[in-house]
Structures are given as C-alpha cells and as structure tokens.
Amino acid sequence: MSKKKNKYTNLGIRCFFLVTFILFISLIARISYLQLSDRVEGRNLKAYADENYNTSQIIPAKRGTIYDANGIPLAEEVTSYTVSAVLDPSASKNSKIKRHVVDKVKTARELSPILETDEAELLSMLGKPKYQVELGPGGRNISQSKKEKIEKLKLPGIVFTPSQKRYYPNGVFASHTLGYTSINENGELIGEMGLEKSLNNELTERDGKKSFLRDRKGNILPYENEKVDPPQNGSDIYLTIDTKIQSLLEDAMTRVDKEYEPEKIMAIVSDPKTGKIIAMGNRPSFNPNINDITNYTNDPISYAFEAGSTMKIFTLGAAMNEGVYNGKEYFQSGRYKVPGGGTVHDVNRNGWGSITFDEGIQRSSNVGISILLNEKLGADRFLQYYKNFGFTKKSNINLPGESSGQLVFKYPLEKTTTAFGQGSTVTAIQIIQAASAIANDGKMMKPYIVDKVVDHDTKKIVDDYQAEVAGNPITSETAKRERKLLESVVTAPSGTGHNYAIKGYSVAGKTGTAQVVDEHGKYIKGHGENLFSFIGMAPAEDPELVVYVAVLRPKLKDTELGSDPVSEIFRSVTKGALEYRKVEPVKNADVSKLIDKESVEVPDFNGLSISEAKSLAISDGLKAVSLGIGNKVSGQSILKSTEVVRGTKIYLKTDGTNSMPSIIGWSRTEVNRLSALFNLNLTIKGSGFITSQSIKKNAELREKDYLAVELNKPQEKDSTEKEIKVNIQE
C-alpha cells in the first residue's frame, strides 16, 4: 500500500510542477507580449496608465487687447458670469445651509432691477419644475460689479458660472472699425468684423497646460513631477484712434442721426502729415457687446459712391499743377456743351453770368470744371492725375472689406462728369488719402489705423507701422496755392462753404452734393435726396487735420440746407479736435464777419423747375415759396441781382395755376412786389402792416386781379398788433 501511495504522491508532485511550469511559461510569455505590443485587449497600456495616474489642468490664456493711441482699452477679454437658480430642495439635504431658492417672490423682486428683467418673467422661471435654471438673457454675461451686487443680497440658491467674454468698454464706438467676435464650435473667440477679423491671428491666444502624476488613490505626487506648457496670450494692438476725438465724432453723428434720420453717415478724421486715422465712424452703427447689427458694411472704406463736387479739388489740383489754371480768366456759367455729346448744367441753370474760374470754384460750378477738363487740361492728363491721387485702387488700410471704387471713363460726357464727381465712384478713405496731398504740401500719405502690435507676454513690438508716402501727385507750390483758393470757398461771399466756417480757425475745403441712384439705376429727385459732403482742412495755412463728412439722404425741412447736418458734424468735431490738440486759435476778421451776418444777391429763378429753384434758393441762404402747381418758374417776387439779407423769403410764380398767399403782416414793399409779379390792380389803404386782404388765402391768383389791402400801424389797435405779431412769427 505504501508503494502505491508513494507512486500517486510522486505523480501528483510531478503534475503540480508541470502545471506550475506551464503557468510560469505562460506568465513569461504574457509579460513578454505586453512588453513588445504595449496593448491589452485593444487598449494602449501607456494611455491607460496616463489616464489613471496622470492628470492635467488647463492654464487659460487671454485674447489680445485693442488699445487706442493713448493706451486706453477699446476691446478686451473679461470674466463674465451666468446667473442660475437652484430650485430643487434636495440640494439642501444634509446641509445646514440652504442651497436652493427658498423665497421665489423675494428672489424675483430683488433680482429684477439688477438683471433688468421683468419681475413676473423671473418668477415664471423660478417656478419651473427643474433642478436648476438659467435666469434668461438678463442673467447672461453679467459683469463683476453686478455679480457683487447680487451676492450682497445673500439670496439662497443663486449661483454663478464664470466664463470669458469680449468686452467693448465704450459700446457704440468705432464699432465697424473694431469689429466683434463670436465663439466657434471649439469654444474659441474668433473675429467677425473689422480689426478683430483682419488681425485675428495676432489677437488669438493659446491656452497652456499643467500635468501631474498621482497614485492609485488619486493623490498628487510631489511637484518635481509637474510638467508645464505655458500659455501664450494674444498680442496687443495699439491703434492710431484717439478716444477723445473719436468720442467727439460719435456724439456729433448721434445728434445728426437723431435729428435728420439720414440713410447713412460717414466721417473720417486724419492727420495729413502722417496718414494716421484719428477717428472714423458711420451710422447706422451697433454696440458690439450686444451685436445689434443692421449694417454689416464699414462704409468709410467699403461703400463706393458718387462723391459729387468734393472731387473738384483734385481736378483743380491737376489743372494748377499743369500750369493751365488761370483763376482770373472768365467763362460763361449756366450750361456747357461737352465736345462729343451731352450738356453739363450748373446748380443754377441760368448761371451767374460771366464769372472768373476762381468764382466758379467758390460757387462749385460744374461748367467751370468741365471747361478746365476739356479745354485746358485734357481728359488723358486728368486721368493720370486721377490715378496718381490714388483713385481706382485700394488704399490698403489694414481693415477688411475695402472697396476700390469704379472708374466710368469711356465717353466724353463720362470723362467730364468724373471731373466733378458724377458717374465714377470712390470711397471716403480714398478721398482722405488724396486730400492729404493738398494738405501736406504735395506728399500723399497712406492712411493707416494700426500703430503697433505688441507681444503681451514679452512686451516686445512684433509689428511697427510707420508713416508712408503713397505718392506725390502735385507739387508743394500747387498744394499751397490750392489751399488758399479752397479757403475762399468758406470765406468768400460767393462761396458755398459758409456753414463750415469755425471761429478762431481758418478752414480750406470743398462742399459736395451728389445725386443718388435708386434700385433701378435712376437718379432720385427731390429736396434732400442727395449725398451731401464736405472735405475740410484746418488750419488752412498748415493743416493739422483733414476731415471728411458725408450724409446720405437726410430728412430736411423745406428751408433747411443739405450742408446743415454735414456742417454740424464737421464744425463740432474739427473745433473740438483742434482745441484738444492745443492748436492756438487766431483772429480771422473775414470768418467772424461771415458768421455774424451777410447779405446775398438774389439769383435768377426764371425757367428753372420748382425743385431746382428751391434747391438754388436754399444753397444761397434764401427761402423760396412756390405759389402754384406748375412745373417751372415764370416769375419771382424779388428781381435777380437784388441784394437781400440771408433768410429772405422769395415767392415764385409758376407756369400753372397760382394761389393767393396770406399777406397779413406784410409790409407795403412786400405787397408791391407781389403786385408787380402778377400785374395786379392794387389798392392800399392806411400805413404800417397789412391787416386785411380782399383776395382770400388759397384763392386762385390771376394776372390783373383786383387786390385791396388795409394797413395799420401796430400801436393803433391792440387786436391788430396781436394779429400782426402772430403772422410775422409764422
């Protein structure tokens, strides 16, 4: 038995050793396989180890800040918060502190004014059967100060989720220039307009990362095992924009936009000696903090338009530079037949008679410019100057979406109209660049708006933008001579730029009134249906600023000028900017006299259409009142060339049915003028001012009608005095 037992024992031992050997070999093979393949069941062992024993933390970086010329932030990344309310009572379970909203009515009442949300709307949100809710649009992206106000209320259940957002401290402020950002599918801020878009690569940040080792219990191992990939903040951008002057511009545009409700406003303020854009803006605009955008076009650089008579300064510059301009030479104003076909008219189709070319510039005569082009300069030479002034190509300012305009220059009439700003289109930034040649003694400066790009972390300058001469289209002597003539546009009695005079500062410039086409390509007619503009340089002797302002289709009253909204912006911005830049004012007798009071000569309205006559009267500072429903003027109450005070009312007889105006309060002289206009049989009784008229107001007024009027002196009758005063005010 013992031998048999030993036999089985030995067999068991051998089996045990065999199994053990097999297991050992299998283990060695497995370990070898793992070492060679680095994978188990399709899973990468290193990745598995990293997942279980390594941890990392994102180190957030910030998008670059955009600053003005003085280091004031215009666009920056800030921490904002989303406000939520925990509604489920289970959040407070096993806690002595209430972590859910306890009193919903009180919470809604106290949050309403801070979140600028209706109390009932908040109460409705707080009544939802959810664990937690966000408190609507008013609770998103709130500032640190609002968060602190809410925290002081100590309302249970109110929690805050932090996030980074782009913030524009000034709201509606050079908005199309700065642009705005949006969040892409990766949660990253990207530029969508303006400098945010064109400099997105420079502004974009790269987050860093900190890596740790930990044990199987999750404890972080000693710091020597840390690995840090540092964050890279986006570069900071410094602009040429000056916040003070940009604010002046924004305020002026807002006033004009509210009062006149134009379709568009465009304005640029530049330094002609460097090409720096000091301020630029347009209406409609938007607040990039809320993206209330209706106009996605940066109009001063993207909107190409017929500029009108502001373009005459470049034709004038070409003629002067070529030595073919004689300002004392006379030409016949009114109309001009273009060689090769077509007729050009002045705003006063009857003309001002034979006038000098200098006066033609002052009066903005299309005929004078047409003669300069066709009979003095020549279209080919003019075209070369047109290109030398930078038109037909982009200025390449560092902003996206710039237009180059369109040259319409095939036929003789197109070549002629291009010389005074019709047909061909340009942009406001092109006009600013071209005008810098006149303001800067012949040197045309390339406009730029980015001053430098600075690495946020090292403070080293990455890109440094410098003043750059874009060309020399005219000589220094030509520029100085032209500025002197353009100053007379503002100061001369016959000048169209009186509204742009600034007390204490001389201004050289040119007005513009351009026709506007409708969706069918036809010019729109009517009072105010134009693009009104002004290009000005101040001080005229040695300009510190070039300012361009254009207002498209403002809503004007019958007695308002198209220059009224334009000059409101130009004067306030230019005067404020010159004072801010400490440009000393000087006494200018001509300008002071011009601003105080001035008489004007009555133009010849006969034969003009009613709309043309009214536009001409307004441009001369007069008030034209049509008495009929005809199409053309057949007579005027005050004869042409009569000198009258600005604001004088002139009655126009038409070629249709005419109506009797109310003449209560008129003087004997005024009623005699009306009588002469219609050859009336007039009977006058008394002296003083008219208190009664035999032909009633709005009755048909015909040649040789009988009209009896009674006059009384104001002191003779109290009731009459009141009636007279009322009608005089009207």
What's the rounded Cα separation, in Å, for the pair 141 and 354? Answer: 68
Please identify which of the residues 198, 309, 506, 626 carries the catalytic annotation.
Answer: 309
Question: Locate tokens 């009784």: which residue?
Answer: 685
Give the orientation angle of helix 476-491 with respect to helix 312-321, to 10 degrees: 140
What's the rounded Cα separation, in Å, for the pair 538 and 669? Answer: 44
Helix H or strand E encompassing 633: strand 633-636
What's the rounded Cα separation, in Å, for the pair 111 and 455? Answer: 41
The one-letter amino acid code at 467 reads: A
Give the orientation angle of helix 412-419 with respect to helix 379-388, to 10 degrees: 50
Helix H or strand E encompassing 211: strand 208-213
CB-side neighbour CA atoms (13 Å) of 249: 31
What's the rounded Cα separation, in Å, for the pair 409 and 417? Answer: 9
Q: What are phi and psi of 228, to 5 degrees?
A: -120, 125
Q: What are phi and psi of 414, to 5 degrees?
A: -65, -40
Which string of b and e fits 544-578 if b means at least 16 CB within 10 Å?
Answer: bbbbbbbbbbbebeebebbbbbbbbbbbbbbbbbb
Note whether 626 and 652 are within 8 A (CB).
Answer: yes
User: Annotated catalytic, 95?
Assistant: no
What's the rounded Cα separation, in Å, for the pair 501 and 508? Answer: 9
Residues paired with residue 502 on neighbouring β-strands, in sequence order:
505
104-111 long-range contacts, CB within 8 A, separation 24+? 106/155, 107/155, 107/157, 107/158, 110/153, 110/155, 111/83, 111/135, 111/150, 111/153, 111/155, 111/158
| Residue 665, both tokens | 């309060």
Cis preceding linkage at 156, omega within 30 = no
25 in helix, strand or coil?
helix
* Residues annotated as catalytic (active site), given as ranges: 309
